[in-house]
Amino acid sequence: MLTSKFSCCLVAHLAILLGLLLLGTCKGQNWSSFQTKHIDFPKSSASNPNAYCDLMMKRRNLNPTRCKPRNTFVHASQSEIQNVCSSKGTHYKDNLYDSEEDFPLTDCKNVGGTSPDNCKYIGTPGTKRIRVACENNKPVHFELVLATL
Ligand SMILES: *[C@@H]1O[C@H](CO)[C@@H](O)[C@H](O)[C@H]1NC(C)=O
């Protein structure tokens, strides 16, 4: 009785774990997709921050079926950003890490338009700390832009 209860529980837990793993994979949370979505270094040129966002969201194909409501591009090298997961980051909770240093970045917020190629954005440039989720010491998810201390 006890054994079957235990194995049932174990199976349930394994199923949940597998589900979470699949979910993670489906959402494309890996270092490679993080770079596509969130790293633009050196920063691509555009006439202004709004035009920059319109261009980059299209160039990186981030609006395949709908205009992504929000996306942040960080203008720093892969290694600098990767270091947030280790020597240059502070553990926040779970697998989330906060950068110790500010990064130049552009925050893009959708204000209409049509996917895939004509989504309209308001771009806000800034230099801020960032919070990312890490797996195997590499960022796989951009959580948010932190207010500067
Ligand atoms: C990373 O995620 C992307 C987007 O979902 C996917 O196409 C790619 O195969 C994944 N790469 C790895 C190494 O898992």
Q: Say yes or no: CB of residue 137 within 6 Å of ligand 1.
A: no
For residue 20, pLDDT over 80 is answered with: no
Test site for ligand 1: of 26, 32, 35, 36, most ligand atoms within 8 A of the Cβ: 32
Average pLDDT for residues 140-144, to the nearest whole number? 97
Residue whose CA lies nearest to ligand 1 atom number 14: 30
Local confidence band at 8 (pLDDT 50, 70, 90 cut-offs): low
Q: What is the dihedral of CA 66, 71, 77, 80, to 10 degrees?
A: -130
Decide: helix, strand or coil at residue 41: coil
Task: Out of 21-25, 71-75, 104-108, 139-143, pick the least confident.
Answer: 21-25
141 assigned to active site: yes
73 contacts 108 by C-beta, under 8 angstroms:
yes
Distance between CA 100 and CA 137 in Å, rounded?
Answer: 16
38 assigned to active site: yes
Q: Say yes or no: CB of residue 86 within 6 Å of ligand 1.
A: no
Query: Hey, what are 99's tokens?
Result: 């950068």
Residue whose CA lies nearest to ligand 1 atom number 12: 30
Cis omega (within 30 of 0) on the bond before 116?
Answer: yes
Cis omega (within 30 of 0) on the bond before 49?
Answer: no
- pTM across the whole model: 0.82
User: If 0-12 CB within 10 Å is exposed, 13-18 middle and 19+ buried, where does residue 134 land?
Assistant: buried
- Distance of CA 117 to CAs 11, 31, 51, 55, Å? 45, 25, 13, 9
Which of these is catalytic: 13, 75, 91, 141? 141
40 contacts 71 by C-beta, under 8 angstroms:
no
Distance between CA 135 and CA 138 in Å, rounded?
Answer: 5
Q: What pLDDT is attached to residue 120?
A: 98
For residue 130, pLDDT over 80 is answered with: yes
What is the number of the ligand 1 atom nearest to the C-alpha of 27? 5
Domains of the chain (ranges; CATH) run 30-146 (3.10.130.10)
DSSP state of 69: S
